[in-house]
Structure 1
Amino acid sequence: MRVKKMFAAGMAVTMAASVALSGCSSSSKTTAESNAESGAATGETTAKSEVKKPEKITIMVNGTVTTKANNRDAFEKRWEELTGIDLEIIQPDHDAYFDVMGQTFASGPENWPDAILLSSSYYTGYAQEGALWDMTDTWNNSELKASGRVTGEEVIDNMKIDGKLYGLPVTRGNGCITYVKKKWLDNVGLEAPETYEEYLNMLKAFTEGDPDGNGVNGDTYGVSAAGFIGQEAPFTNYLPEFYQDAYPSFELGADGKWFDGFTEDSFKSALTRLREAYAAGYIDKETLTNGTKDCRNKFYEDKFGVFTYWAGTWATNLKNNLEANGRDGELIPLKPIKELGSYVERTAPVWSITSSCENPEGVYKYFIESMLDGGEMETLWSYGVEDVHWSKKAETILDKPYKEGEFHQRESLEQPGTQYTKQHIDPMLSIVKWDGDPGKDTVAESAKESQLIFNENCRQDIIVPSSDAMATYNGDLTTLKNSIIADVVVQGTSIEEAYKRFESEGGAKWSKLIVDSLNEKASAK
């Protein structure tokens, strides 16, 4: 199958076009399952009710689903109690997820899971190669769509490829917003930046001054990120102030034509900004090899003061973890600086079913659709297991007392000293109306503020279609682009030399072939 070819071409690092997302009663069935079996008026057709219930479902997920460290065994046990189905979870290390996923697809359909969590970069490619099941008709005739509870149908429509749906998002895509430590700003006598000049001046002060107030100048730095470029769209979201209007992959112009943003002057200007800031010491010297967890830990340890990370719930997570480490937790979520204009809301991750799955309708109904049942299963995916991840018992958590019947998150198993804020589904980003949300009154003000600022200052990323040329060349093209970016920023290679290499090593040719294929595909519609 050509999926092997796609992996060999470097699909594990493709930049074709996005991964973040993670109650109970004595009942052993989800709301949807109980309604189906009792013949309740759920909008489900006779044919739908005859969908065969799987005996076992195998899934591949990243660290946004409850991890082993957070008692995934209890999560899995509760899921199985609610469905009566055996669930096998394949969960690589979060930072290695894309590589392991690519290797799994390349190993052959006999090794594929039934369902898999995909970002848009991989979703479009695997759909193009026939590795994903077409769920269009199943979605259109589903109980969920007929329920009237879906508030984000446009998010689902945005995932259609040539009118076909190969994966269902259960949340909005969300995106990253820049957080600044308020105490650090106060210590260096600065206000929150509104322009790139002010942003750079802040990084300079955080790097050369004493923003952490320990009496030592120059033992901190301004900003860190998990790489200079992301592994998934929108790619520039961890260092947006440097990239501004530049983009390293394929974009749709105002004239309706596709082009490669890497070849534009705007991207060369972005590389220059990054190189200069890195040489000045404003950017963490380990940025090239950082994972997201590395960045978070350094932030909690007060090694740097500016962190662009996910809006909403993560604002509270960052605050709580700073305070758990004895640091000041007050963060300022920035509006986009003038030159940036807006943050980018990534294309939502999706749950897809592989084409090797023997009972795709059953997996859709009992696994994917049940996540949004508005009942016990949605509670499980949003908050975890009762009395493990959350509780309504009278108890004291981290010195805060809770009354009997008061919903609250319990202390994190993976990050002691902090409370959980969500599990896989962030209720603030859910695409369905959920009147029975048990935690709706517990969202922290810091999360609300961050999410509001992001929502009011973002634009939606668009999904990039795949093509034969994309599948053949984009892996090698991406590897070359990433290498050039690293050389320019870390090694100080000149822009002129960098783009000579892009030409001589085939990048310009591959880029043109992909652009031509995208435009040919667009004109054929």
Structure 2
Amino acid sequence: MRKLLAVLLALLLLAPSAFAVTLSEPGVLPLTEDDVTITIGLVQSPLTTDYDDNYLTKLIEERTGVNLEFFFFPSGNEAGQKFSMMTASGEKLPDIVILGLTDAERYTYGSSGYFIPLNDYMEKDAYFWNQSMDTWATPKQKEDVMKYAYSFDGNIYGYPQFYCDPADAVALYMTINKKWLDNLGLEVPTTTDELYTVLKAFKEQDANGNGDPNDEIPLIGNTGWGGSVTTFLLNSFTYFAYDEMFGYQLNVEDGKLSAPFITEEFRDGLRFCRKLVAEGLLSELSFSQTDAEMRAMMQAPADQDSIVGVLVGHPSPMFGTDVPRVLDYVGIPSLTGPEGVNWAPFGMQIGNYNVYITADCEHPDVAFRLIDAIAETDLSLSMRFGEKDVNWRYAEGDSRYIGIGEQYKAIYEQNFNPDIPVPWTTENNIIWHANTLNMLPPMLMGGNLAKPFPNEYHEYKLGGLCYDVFPHRYHLHPAEMPMKVTFNEEETDLINDIRATIQSYVNESITRFVLGDLDIEKDWDGYLRELDAMGLAQYMETSQTAYDRTNK
């Protein structure tokens, strides 16, 4: 019934009507001179003090000619629950809904008539979307963003928004204490063998020079985002992105999916990690401490001796603000394994599909053109950074991301006035504190002007340990990567529990093998049998079917 109503509504909107809105041609702003209001449903940010009396809201209204009203969903999981209750009760939905849904949920709501298909709009009216993608993304990125936009029935229900910071794709950093290396006359390691030699020296030769040969921690990580030592080291033995940080990617070669966590190369990587733990070179704390606990370790007072030789963790939070110790460290981009393997796991650079036009929207053409207008570069940058020429401005010069390709030129400069607070991280009524409707493809988001940070510690932490390091990792991945496998409703029902169980079991087993709770030699076959019993074959077969369908 809901589908029928949606179809009838669409037909009525196509027919001549006293309430029809006159729209400009695609690419022309403002969109209309008629008095029309679009309601946007979204989760309210705690940092946004007012959405109505708001710079971004007023800017969008001024540029498009469309009035905005807001409906606020509760935060967290309650947002999805609220939306489900609204659809079940027949409550009127906002014109535009911004909500994180799974592929299956998006299809279910769309095919049930709650979201309208956007196929025709994307083909005929996505002027600024195409302009943004053609200017700031590669043809392959544009192809991938659209490829994953289609639901199982061939319809596009979620607007294919693309926000991508290139550095986030490879944000797994290893950093080493150069002062310790100098104390011992050693060089920055480039291979796993060299790393082992350095860690042994750190442990046995009083690397920090305080007279106590037992207070050094040669290598440590944490359980938080970007803190997995094992994921970093396993990529010296096999390509391994089967990690929550990278979306639990399977491997692929010539279109054939494989599980990286059952190979002999993966097993060799575990042997190496186990060796480091067994010899006291890799701290067991890496598998239990939080990132906050590790930050406290790295940000200890300057008058305390350094105790960490090598860490895995993002330098920005690890070294905090104005920590002189940061100058003692240098980056290790990657390590070559004994068989010449040298990979770096690569995260998703595909679209987000969390913006929907509902069947209750009286003017879906206006709603889509509104969404598309925010893809325009000025509006997209303002949604992220704030007021133009106050919080950001156009600029020329070198980009912070020039190391990953000459196509990364400076486009904008942010926070050029140190006396003005940064909108993104402060409470204000300037922006909405969300990248949901704007388009910031890699070459636009990566177009941040390279300029000195406020002090030498900040400059070195972000410049020396991040922006100078990640380009060396950025291209160390296979040409073919199944960054996203889209399952239909039946497939989701079939393997959802299997997939979650296997992901949890692999994570747990990596830790147990490395810590010695499981013996890599004696318990390996049992580990494989347990994966088989959990349904690994079904998981792989279903994933292959879904991957083939998406990439046909």
User: Does 1:304 find its partner at 2:320?
Assistant: no
Output the CA distance in 2 between the equivalents of 1:362 and 1:57: 16
Name 1:157's counterpart in structure 2: 143
**1:389/1:409 contact within 8 Å kept:** no
Output the CA distance in 2 between the equivalents of 1:265 and 1:51: 66
Partner SS state of residue 488, structure 1: helix
Q: CA deviation at 1:511?
A: 0.9
Output the CA distance in 1 between the equivalents of 2:147 and 2:106: 8
Name 1:115's counterpart in structure 2: 98
Alignment of 1:439-450 (within 5 A): 439=449, 441=451, 445-446=463-464, 447-450=466-469
Structure 1 pair 189–86 and aligned structure 2 pair: CA distance change class (3 A): farther
Deviations 1:444-480 (A, max 9, x none): 6535422432335455643242441432420122122
Name 2:233's counterpart in structure 1: 241
Q: CA deviation at 1:324?
A: 1.3
Partner SS state of residue 199, structure 1: helix
Q: CA deviation at 1:274?
A: 2.1
Alignment of 1:304-343 (within 5 A): 304-309=308-313, 317=316, 321=319, 324-329=322-327, 331-339=329-337, 340-343=341-344
Name 1:462's counterpart in structure 2: 482
What code does the residue aligned with 1:115 have? I
**1:124/1:465 contact within 8 Å kept:** no
Deviations 1:287-310 (A, max 9, x none): 234444444443333553433456
User: Does 1:57 find its partner at 2:44?
Assistant: no
Output the CA distance in 2 between the equivalents of 1:50 and 1:142: 21
Deviations 1:91-141 (A, max 9, x none): 97xxxxxxx55x8657872489932468xxxx6565676689765554444
Q: CA deviation at 1:265?
A: 1.4
Which of 165, 170, 174 aligns to 2:169? It is 174
What code does the residue aligned with 1:337 have? L
Q: CA deviation at 1:193?
A: 0.7
**2:203/2:216 contact within 8 Å kept:** yes
Which of 503, 515, 518 aligns to 1:490? It is 515
Q: CA deviation at 1:198?
A: 0.8
Output the CA distance in 2 between the equivalents of 1:217 and 1:430: 50
**1:345/1:459 contact within 8 Å kept:** no
Partner SS state of residue 258, structure 2: strand
Name 1:205's counterpart in structure 2: 201
Partner SS state of residue 54, structure 1: strand
Output the CA distance in 2 between the equivalents of 1:178 and 1:361: 49
Deviations 1:239-261 (A, max 9, x none): 32244215346634434322222
Structure 1 pair 413–184 and aligned structure 2 pair: CA distance change class (3 A): farther
**2:127/2:372 contact within 8 Å kept:** no
**1:278/1:489 contact within 8 Å kept:** yes
Structure 1 pair 483–45 and aligned structure 2 pair: CA distance change class (3 A): same
Output the CA distance in 2 between the equivalents of 1:331 and 1:364: 49
Partner SS state of residue 55, structure 1: strand
Structure 2 residues not aligned, in runs of 5+: 1-20, 62-67, 88-95, 151-155, 243-247, 301-305, 395-414, 427-432, 454-458
Partner SS state of residue 469, structure 2: helix
Percentage of matched positions with identical amino acids: 12
Alignment of 1:387-426 (within 5 A): 407-408=417-418
**1:299/1:307 contact within 8 Å kept:** no
Output the CA distance in 2 between the equivalents of 1:514 and 1:324: 48
Q: CA deviation at 1:207?
A: 4.2
**2:204/2:213 contact within 8 Å kept:** yes
User: Does 1:42 find its partner at 2:15?
Assistant: no
Name 1:351's counterpart in structure 2: 352
Partner SS state of residue 198, structure 1: helix
User: Does 1:474 find its partner at 2:499?
Assistant: yes
Output the CA distance in 1 between the equivalents of 2:475 and 2:122: 30
Name 2:3's counterpart in structure 1: none
Structure 1 pair 390–355 and aligned structure 2 pair: CA distance change class (3 A): closer
Which of 173, 183, 187 aligns to 2:183? It is 187
Structure 1 pair 218–110 and aligned structure 2 pair: CA distance change class (3 A): farther
Output the CA distance in 2 between the equivalents of 1:116 and 1:75: 17
User: Does 1:225 find its partner at 2:228?
Assistant: no
User: Does 1:82 find its partner at 2:82?
Assistant: no
Output the CA distance in 2 between the equivalents of 1:343 and 1:464: 18
Which of 359, 377, 400 aligns to 1:374? It is 377
What code does the residue aligned with 1:325 have? V
What code does the residue aligned with 2:233 have? E
What code does the residue aligned with 1:175 have? V
Structure 1 pair 331–456 and aligned structure 2 pair: CA distance change class (3 A): farther
Name 1:287's counterpart in structure 2: 286
| Larger RCO (alpha carbons 8 Å, 6+ apart) | 1
Root-mean-square deviation (CA, aligned residues, Å) is 5.0
**TM-score where L is the length of structure 2:** 0.62
Output the CA distance in 1 between the equivalents of 2:260 and 2:445: 43
User: Does 1:431 find its partner at 2:409?
Assistant: no
Output the CA distance in 2 between the equivalents of 1:207 and 1:412: 43
Which of 126, 130, 133 aligns to 1:142? It is 126
Structure 1 pair 174–520 and aligned structure 2 pair: CA distance change class (3 A): closer
Output the CA distance in 2 between the equivalents of 1:509 and 1:325: 47
What code does the residue aligned with 1:79 have? L
- Considering only CA atoms, is the larger Rg found in Structure 1 or Structure 2? 2
**TM-score where L is the length of structure 1:** 0.64
What code does the residue aligned with 2:332 have? L
Partner SS state of residue 327, structure 1: helix
Output the CA distance in 2 between the equivalents of 1:161 and 1:438: 28
**1:144/1:150 contact within 8 Å kept:** no
Partner SS state of residue 286, structure 2: coil
Partner SS state of residue 158, structure 1: helix
Structure 1 pair 438–322 and aligned structure 2 pair: CA distance change class (3 A): closer
Q: CA deviation at 1:432?
A: 6.2
Q: CA deviation at 1:281?
A: 3.1
Output the CA distance in 2 between the equivalents of 1:91 and 1:211: 52
Deviations 1:344-365 (A, max 9, x none): 3211264322669565877776
User: Does 1:516 find its partner at 2:541?
Assistant: yes
Partner SS state of residue 217, structure 1: coil
**1:210/1:217 contact within 8 Å kept:** yes
Q: CA deviation at 1:494?
A: 1.0
Alignment size in residue pairs: 436
Output the CA distance in 2 between the equivalents of 1:124 and 1:197: 43
